Amino acid sequence: MKEEHKPVNSIFIKFDPEKREQITALLDQPVLARLATANPKTYQPHVVPLWYRWDGESVWISGFSSTRKFRELIANPKCAILIEPANPKESKIQGILFEGAADIIREDRALVIEKATQIYLRYLGEAGTQETEPQSWIHDPENLVAKLKPTKVFAW
């Protein structure tokens, strides 16, 4: 399922048109992303694989507030998200690294449910997203979403 994107984010302007096309092609694939956070007291890095959705401007992720990744994002919103191709040998681009500070959305439950549903649709499809377990995660009061509008992007 190919997603429609808004016009290219100005942060991608530094890349030539061919590289921008490669970036968009990779972001269209439902591959795992890796989120890097840091413990605000010990600075110990923490990296976890997760599902994401790119909307043309921001990377959206979903999870429970009790998880380490979200506890750390709440305490220290600075993070990085790495997206790599499923098969690097067949890809013209090997990775995209987004850096910035995440905005945590928890109070606007309609937005949390909307964005979490969009993420699940990417990976599970319509039928899979409607199953009992994903629906319980999406609607759980502990579920929240984070939006990373990158301040830096690296691609290679």
For domain 10-155, the CATH architecture is: Roll (2.30)
Where along the chain do its domains lie? 10-155
Low-confidence winner among 13-17, 22-26, 59-63, 150-154 (lowest mean pLDDT) = 13-17
Count of other CB atoms within 10 angstroms of residue 112: 20
pLDDT at 103: 99
Judged by phi (left if over 0) then psi (alpha if -120 to 50, else beta), residue 41 lies in: alpha
> For the chain, what is the radius of gyration of the CA atoms?
15
Across the chain, the runs of DSSP E, i.e. the strands, are: 33-38, 45-50, 53-54, 59-64, 78-83, 96-105, 143-148, 152-155
- Total-model pTM: 0.90
pLDDT digits (tens, 9 = 90+) for 78-130: 999 999 999 999 999 999 999 999 999 999 999 999 999 999 999 999 999 99
What is the CB-side half-sphere exposure of residue 36 using CA atoms within 13 A? 11
53 pLDDT above the threshold of 60: yes
6 pLDDT above the threshold of 50: no
63 pLDDT above the threshold of 90: yes
What letter does residue 150 receive in the DSSP assignment? -
